[in-house]
Amino acid sequence: MSCRVIDFEAAPWQPGAHPLERKKTAAEVAVTLLEFAPGFEDPTPCRRGHAAFIVAGELALVLEDGSEVRALAGSAFHLDPGTVHRARNPGDMPVRLFVYSFV
């Protein structure tokens, strides 16, 4: 067994795949601190499973059927693997979330 502390505060921000995205990723662990600027909308659908906690702002998840689920700061969400979704920031401030991704 092991225990690892991930110091996201000390980690540098890295650019994400989208110009309005930045992230801090833990090496060898499937956890990431993401930040989406206002106007962010992921053009690429994702099928990975995620568990996430919204640290700041509001996140919208657009599902394959076109429905939208919103999560505010202080709330969490869980997406089963295979659930097609896209993230977007519907607000006027950055949304920051802690994400654990799994297959």
Q: What is the pLDDT of residues 45-100, one digit of tens each?
A: 999 999 999 999 999 999 999 999 999 999 999 999 999 999 999 999 999 999 99
Q: Is the pLDDT of residue 27 over 90?
A: no
Residue 9: inside a domain, yes or no?
no
Domain that holds residue 96: 14-102
Residue 8: inside a domain, yes or no?
no
Specify the number of domains making up the chain.
1
Tokens of 36: 């989406």
Tell me, what CATH number does 78's domain have?
A: 2.60.120.10
Sign of CA dihedral 56, 60, 63, 69: positive
Task: With beta carbons less than 8 A apart as the criterion, state whether 81 and 29 touch.
Answer: no
Residue 5: inside a domain, yes or no?
no
Count other Cβ atoms within 10 Å, centred on residue 72. 12
Residue 2: inside a domain, yes or no?
no
State the Cα–Cα distance between residues 27 and 39, nearest whole angstrom.
Answer: 28
- pLDDT value of residue 29: 84
